[in-house]
Amino acid sequence: MLASARRTLAVEAEAIVALQARLDDTFVRAAQLILACPGRVVVSGIGKTGHIARKIAATLASTGTPAFFLHAAEAVHGDLGMLTSQDVLLAISYSGSGQELLTILPAARRLGAPVIAMTGNAASDLARDADVHLDVGVAKEACPLNLAPTASTTAALALGDALAVACLEARGFGSEDFARSHPGGALGRQLLTHVSDVMRSGAALPIASLEASISHVLEIMSAKGMGMAIAVDSGNRPQGIFTDGDLRRLIERRGDIRGLTLESVMTRDPRVIEPEALAATAAREMDDGRITQMLVCDHEGALIGALHMHDLMAAKVI
């Protein structure tokens, strides 16, 4: 069984290596058609290549090239209406003779939509009728009967990935663009969530004056549940913070703290971040500084919010 698995992987790896060596200007023309497309790339296939076509469409869409999958059999029963003159049709068929795809081609021609064919037979009708033909032929399938599509589907999938990545790089598609296509994933949350999206503000802030007594400060800390109090001046600019940890250390050091004011016990120059910063940046700075709270100030230095590590965890930024 291990020998069989190794043979399969070797055959499919050889197919991709051979495909790499065959790349030429036709690949460049295919990529240029996709880059110039004002609409979407409509990827179509049937059977095993249909599954490959669906995955290629998904990869294109997630990397900056609007695309969708059109099932070749459903296309001839009404779904062809999805194709417009603004689109590019990427038709995938290893034999290049599938009737469903060949039926779609005249409709694409009438619309004026360019056609890119991906086949293993350069002499096939699909290859000849396309504007650009990409050869994904393989020497043999990994299937010992040389029947089940294995190496050929792997080659088609790899070439689809190559097209998607080439277009991604040509567009200058970056990590933030990728995040916008994947807002539900960890990368999306890290690159799209800003401090202003998760900070606490307004009445939720544990604010106290510099002259506030420790007893009053403790009431504020208990009511707001951020594990700290923020000392502000008359211009609402933060002057310091007093945390649960500060309280424990103060009691150990002083014992009776009832006569103290917030100004006399606070930690000055607290860590501050702007609301436009990424929440992931705040998490990194909090981790580096070994702190669990951070203040949020506007460009004039006025307090507008505060963050607790728990807020970042709840937003799944960390």
pLDDT tens digits for 77-119?
888 889 999 999 999 999 999 888 998 998 898 999 999 999 9
Say if 182 falls within a structural domain.
no
Percent of the chain with pLDDT over 90: 73
Residues 162, 209 share a domain: no
Q: Has residue 252 got a pLDDT over 80?
A: yes
- Whole-model pTM? 0.65
The whole-angstrom separation of Cα 204 and Cα 110 is 63
**Final residue belonging to a domain, choices 139, 173, 207:** 173
303-308/272-273 β-pairing? unpaired
The whole-angstrom separation of Cα 72 and Cα 50 is 8
Residue 230: name the closest of 283, 291, 293, 287 by CA.
Answer: 293
Say if 237 falls within a structural domain.
yes
Q: Has residue 238 got a pLDDT over 90?
A: yes
Say if 183 falls within a structural domain.
no
Residues spanned by the domain of 297? 195-314
Residues 62, 97 share a domain: yes
Average pLDDT over residues 127-147: 93
Say if 16 falls within a structural domain.
yes
Q: Has residue 258 got a pLDDT over 90?
A: no
pLDDT confidence bin for 176, thresholds 50/70/90: low
Say if 264 falls within a structural domain.
yes
Residues 202, 159 share a domain: no
Say if 211 falls within a structural domain.
yes
The whole-angstrom separation of Cα 309 and Cα 300 is 25
Say if 266 falls within a structural domain.
yes
**Final residue belonging to a domain, choices 109, 140, 173:** 173
Residues 251, 168 share a domain: no
Say if 11 falls within a structural domain.
yes
- Is residue 303 a contact partner of residue 230, using CB atoms and an 8 Å limit? yes
The whole-angstrom separation of Cα 138 and Cα 39 is 32
Q: What is the CATH number of the domain that holds 239?
A: 3.10.580.10
Residues 209, 149 share a domain: no
Residue 266: name the closest of 289, 307, 298, 295 by CA.
Answer: 295
Residues 164, 211 share a domain: no
Res 181: pLDDT: 59
The tally of domains found in the chain comes to 2
Q: Sheet containing 303-308: which strands, arranged edge to edge?
A: 272-273, 293-297, 303-308
**Final residue belonging to a domain, choices 140, 173, 206:** 173
Residues 101, 10 share a domain: yes
Q: Could you tell me how far CA 234 lies from the centroid of its own chain?
A: 44
pLDDT confidence bin for 180, thresholds 50/70/90: low
Q: Which residues contact 103 (CB under 8 A, 6 or more apart)?
A: 75, 76
For residue 101, count CB atoms less than 10 angstroms from its CB and return exposed for 0-12, middle for 13-18, buried for 19 or more: buried
Percent of the chain with pLDDT over 70: 94
Res 175: pLDDT: 64
Residues 254, 146 share a domain: no
Residues 283, 157 share a domain: no
**Token pair for 143:** 């299937």
Residues 169, 72 share a domain: yes
Residues 146, 91 share a domain: yes
Residues 239, 243, 247, 249, CA torsion sign: negative
Q: What is the CATH number of the domain that holds 70?
A: 3.40.50.10490
Residues 293, 147 share a domain: no
- Residue-wise pLDDT tens digits, 183-227: 555 555 666 788 999 999 999 999 999 999 999 999 999 999 999
**Token pair for 175:** 């990590």
Three-state secondary structure string covering 107-173: HHHHHCCCEEEEECCCCCHHHHHCCEEEECCCCCCCCCCCCCCCHHHHHHHHHHHHHHHHHHHHHCC
